[in-house]
Amino acid sequence: MKKKISEFLKEDIPDIDKTTAGTIPAKAVSTALIIPEEDIVFAGADIIKFFFEKGFNCKIFAKDGEQIKKEKVIASIKGNSGKILSYERVLLNLLQRLCGIASLTREYVKIAEPYKVRILDTRKTIPGLRLFEKYAVTVGGGWNHRLDLSTGILIKDNHIQAAGGITNAIIKIKKKNYKLPIELEVENLEQIKEGITAGIDGFLLDNMSPDKIKKCVSFIRSLPGGKNIFIEASGGITLKTLPAYVKTGIDAISIGALTHSAKAANIHIEFE
């Protein structure tokens, strides 16, 4: 994350911050406060510290995952005025993004938690921000699905089409001996039956109604070893429709909206 932050700052300050350099004395010292303008789930304690490591007195008054009320000070930063001004926008962009994701994730988790259903993220993240965004999901109480294409196997509809069918796809990938669980995206019971026969470890039930999911879960769990098969649902599940899905007996629900549709939290930096 430190490396990424350095890249973000270089993008915003390729040479010098000419406005700040032209208006602020080089040795000026200020104290700046980070304040939310709405209730949020906070995510970013270590990120703030990464921006202001040397020569700054940085105090964090909130913990990751803490529910923060509007206008409560999250952190204070005392140090070189110019650097605080120059770093302000990049820092806020990250905090607003991450707190927005954490806050939205928490809303989903509150509904799913009583049913012991995990809320998972997806790979629908902004390029360059995946580690940050997946971190924010965990802060909000969610769980990370595969980090990338190298750390997990999920055979989707286009893989099935290109490989010549479910059985072919599974046979081919088993020959690679990646030593990873094999998850299969399915749309109907016939695909589930084929996947079971081919020997998969988990199913992603895609774009199914809660009633259809219940029938699929019942079938899978009734099989020998079926209770050990991981089952997740996905596909357009919203906060409004979530209550019906958490009662279907699945293990998890993956929600792309956690990262691709989270609204940025309203946070600002104020100089004392």
Domains annotated for the chain, with CATH where assigned, are: 2-105+263-271 (3.90.1170.20), 109-260 (3.20.20.70)
For the chain, percent of residues with pLDDT exceeding 70: 100
pLDDT of residue 132: 97
Residue 109 falls in which region: left (phi positive, over 0), alpha (psi -120 to 50) or beta? alpha
CB contact burial 200-214 (16+ within 10 A = b; e otherwise): bebbbbbebebebbb
CA separation for the pair 190, 172 (Å, rounded): 20
Q: What is the dihedral of CA 156, 161, 167, 169, to 10 degrees?
A: -60
**Cβ atoms of 84 and 30 closer than 8 Å:** yes
pLDDT of residue 1: 86
Catalytic residue among 72, 118, 124, 214: 124
Q: For 190-207, write each residue's pLDDT tens digit.
A: 999 999 999 999 999 999
Summarize the confidence of residues 75-83 as an average pLDDT. 97
> Is residue 40 helix, strand or coil?
strand
pLDDT of residue 31: 98
DSSP class per residue in 61-72: ---TT-EE-TT-
User: What letter represents residue 144's amino acid?
Assistant: N
Catalytic residue among 59, 156, 212, 221: 156
Q: Does 259 score more than 90 pLDDT?
A: yes
Mean of all residue pLDDT scores within the chain = 97
- Residue 54: pLDDT band (50, 70, 90) is confident
Residue with tokens 């769980």: 143
Q: For 199-252, write each residue's pLDDT tens digit.
A: 999 999 999 999 999 999 999 999 999 999 999 999 999 999 999 999 999 999
pLDDT of residue 53: 87
Catalytic residue among 49, 59, 89, 123: 89
Instruction: List beta partners, residue 271.
Output: 32
CA separation for the pair 9, 17 (Å, rounded): 11
**167 token code pair:** 């059985």
Active site residue 106: no
User: What letter represents residue 114's amino acid?
Assistant: P
Active site residue 15: no
Q: For 90-143, write each residue's pLDDT tens digit.
A: 999 999 999 999 999 999 999 999 999 999 999 999 999 999 999 999 999 999
Rounded CA Rg of the chain:
23
Catalytic residue among 64, 121, 183, 206: 206
Active site residue 206: yes
> Is residue 31 helix, strand or coil?
strand
Neighbours of 194 (CB within 10 A): 17
Active site residue 46: no
Contacts of 235 (CB under 8 A, 6+ apart): 206, 207, 208
Active site residue 156: yes
